[in-house]
């Protein structure tokens, strides 16, 4: 049966799906950083000498779009896990462990066509959808009220990360509103 999900990609969308089994390790983050850095280096080489396309001939959509999308979904899980751990430690009254979770960051396509036939599509933006984020959290004194308070606290931050992670990642000095203000945040309540 698997995990429940109603997410079916449309043709033309590019999805970065990440399954977090417990926590993102520093080794995972470092390994992921190597690929975007190599792409950045190739682009810098090309910009230095635009008459020589050799450095960029080997680049593909995974090197460009995939790296950006994957970085964002990894950053969400790293931010959420770090925040939850720090919140539990700073409160001093909670124990928490990440359980298997998954989410995706993807390009959004709007299909176009006539009479029910999709003949074209347009890129409308990006969306983060952390479809299943769970952890095992317990108050040290087994207080249900402390558990609810903790879940509300970390759940609000998790929801905010769905907006702030992509927004901070995709902003440039010339483009301050790359992500539409009405993009969907879809972290379910953690209660």
The 10s digit of each residue's pLDDT in 48-79 is 988 988 888 888 888 888 888 888 888 889 88
The answer to whether position 89 is within a domain reads yes
The answer to whether position 159 is within a domain reads yes
Say whether pTM exceeds 0.85: no
**13 with 106: CB under 8 angstroms?**
yes
Residue (of 35, 31, 42, 25) closest to 65 by Cα position: 35
The answer to whether position 97 is within a domain reads yes
7 vs 170: CA distance, rounded Å: 24
Residue (of 76, 30, 39) closest to 168 by Cα position: 76
**127 with 183: CB under 8 angstroms?**
yes
End-to-end CA separation in angstroms for the chain: 23
pLDDT band at 110 (very low <50, low <70, confident <90, very high): confident
The answer to whether position 26 is within a domain reads no
- Token pair 């402390």 in the structure block, residue: 146
The answer to whether position 44 is within a domain reads no
As for how many domains the chain has, the answer is 1
Number of H helices and E strands in the chain, helices first, is 4, 5
Expressed as residue numbers, the domain containing 133 is 15-20+64-170
The answer to whether position 82 is within a domain reads yes
The answer to whether position 189 is within a domain reads no
Q: Residue 132 in 3-state DSSP?
A: strand
Tokens of residue 95, six digits? 């124990």
The answer to whether position 37 is within a domain reads no
Least confident of 44-58, 86-100, 167-181: 167-181
pLDDT band at 141 (very low <50, low <70, confident <90, very high): very high
Instruction: Give strand pairing partners of 38.
Output: none
Mean pLDDT in residue range 22-31: 78
**191 with 151: CB under 8 angstroms?**
yes
């Amino acid at each position: 049966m698997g995990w429940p999900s109603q997410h079916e990609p449309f043709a033309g969308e590019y999805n970065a799906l990440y399954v977090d089994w417990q926590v993102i390790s520093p080794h995972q983050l470092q390994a992921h950083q190597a690929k975007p850095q190599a792409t950045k280096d190739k682009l810098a080489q090309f910009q230095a000498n635009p008459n020589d396309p050799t450095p960029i001939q080997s680049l593909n959509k995974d090197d460009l779009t995939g790296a950006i999308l994957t970085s964002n979904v990894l950053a969400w899980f790293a931010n959420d896990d770090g925040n939850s751990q720090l919140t539990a430690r700073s409160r001093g009254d909670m124990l928490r462990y990440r359980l298997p979770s998954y989410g995706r960051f993807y390009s959004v396509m709007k299909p176009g066509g006539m009479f029910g036939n999709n003949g074209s599509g347009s890129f409308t933006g990006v969306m983060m959808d952390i479809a299943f984020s769970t952890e095992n959290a317990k108050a040290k004194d087994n207080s249900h009220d402390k558990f609810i308070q903790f879940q509300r606290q970390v759940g609000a931050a998790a929801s905010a990360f769905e907006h702030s992670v992509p927004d901070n990642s995709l902003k440039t000095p010339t483009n301050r509103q790359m992500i539409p203000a009405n993009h969907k945040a879809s972290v379910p309540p953690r209660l």
